[in-house]
Amino acid sequence: MANNRTDHDRLFKELLQTFFYEFMQLFFPTASRAIDFSHLRFLQQEVFTDVTAGEKNLVDILVETRLKQEPGLILVHVETQAYVQKDFNERMFRYFNRLYEKYRCRILPVAVFSYDQSRSEEDSFSIEFPFLEVLRFKFYKLELKKLYWRDYAANDNPVAAALLSKMGFSAEERVKVRLEFMRMLARMKLDPARAELLGGFFEAYLKLNRNEEEEFYLELGKIDREEAEAIMQITTNWHEKGRAEGIKEGIKEGIKEGIKEGIKEGKLETARAALKKGLPEDVVAEITGLGLETIRKLKSGLN
C-alpha cells in the first residue's frame, strides 16, 4: 500500500505543480480571482513527526504566493487523499497549525479526495464548549468521485482532462471517458511533454483492457476525421516513445524482436476487430497506422 500511496502522491504532485493555476481556476474560482499567479514558488515538502502515532507525515503541496493588491505572502496547502482516514479533518488542522507556527502568514488549505467510491467528508474541525466556540477551522474540499465526468468534458482545462479518470462514471462509460479525454487533448494542442504528463496520469487511473481498446478505436472511427487524425497523432507519438524505450530495454534483456512483434500483433488484432464490425478499410488504416494493403489482406483473410 505504501508504494501505491507514493505513486498517487507523485502523480498528483506533478499534475498540480505543472497546472496549479488551471487547478485553482477550475475548482476554486473565487480564490483564483484573488491570487496573484505571477508569484508562485513551490516550497520544499514539509515533514511533520507525530510522536503519539509514531509516524512521519509529509505535506503534499505547499505554494508560496500573494493576493492581488495586498502586501505580504500567503501559502496554499494542498493535501491529496487517496484512501479513507479517520479524523482527516483534524489532520488538516494539525498541518495548518504546524505550518502557521513556522511561517506566520495566512494559509489557504485545500483537500482533494480521490477515493474510488463516493463519500462525504468533513471540511471543518472545531473545538467548543456548550458556552463557547473556541475554534472553527475550515478548508476547501474537492471530492472527485462526486463530480460527473460529462460536466467537465467540454472544458478545455488540462486538469479537468486528467481528472476525468477519477470522477464519477459507470463501468459502461469507461471507453467514452477515454475518448473524451483524448478529444480534450487534441483540442488543447499542448506541447508533447505536458500532453504526455496528462496521458500518464489518466492511464494510471483508467487503463482500458483489450476489448475496451478495440471499442475505443471503433468509436474513434465514428468522429470527425480531422479530429480522429489529431488524436491518432498524439497516440502515435506516445507509442513511438514507448516503443523506443521498450526497444532500449529489450536490447538490454535480449528481447528486442519480441517487443516489435508484440506491438505489431496488437495493431493487427485491433484491425481485425474493426473490420469485423464493418468499418471501411481506409478508416481502419488510419486508426491503426497499418498500410492499406495490409488491411486488405486482413479483410480477405476474414472471408
Tens of pLDDT, residues 53-88: 556 778 889 999 999 989 999 999 999 999 999 999
In 3-state terms, what secondary structure has residue 83? coil
Please give the model's pTM, rounded to 2 decimal places: 0.78
- For residue 295, the enclosing domain spans 208-302
Measured CA to CA, the distance from residue 219 to residue 232 in angstroms comes to 13
pLDDT tens sequence across 277-289: 677 787 778 777 7
- Identify whether residues 6 and 91 lie together within a single domain: yes
Percent of the chain with pLDDT over 90: 60
- Identify whether residues 139 and 213 lie together within a single domain: no
pLDDT tens sequence across 122-137: 999 999 999 999 999 9
- Identify whether residues 6 and 121 lie together within a single domain: yes
148: which 3 cell numbers?
Answer: 460527473
pLDDT at residue number 189: 92
Measured CA to CA, the distance from residue 263 to residue 15 in angstroms comes to 29
- Identify whether residues 15 and 101 lie together within a single domain: yes
DSSP secondary structure code for residue 146 in this structure? G
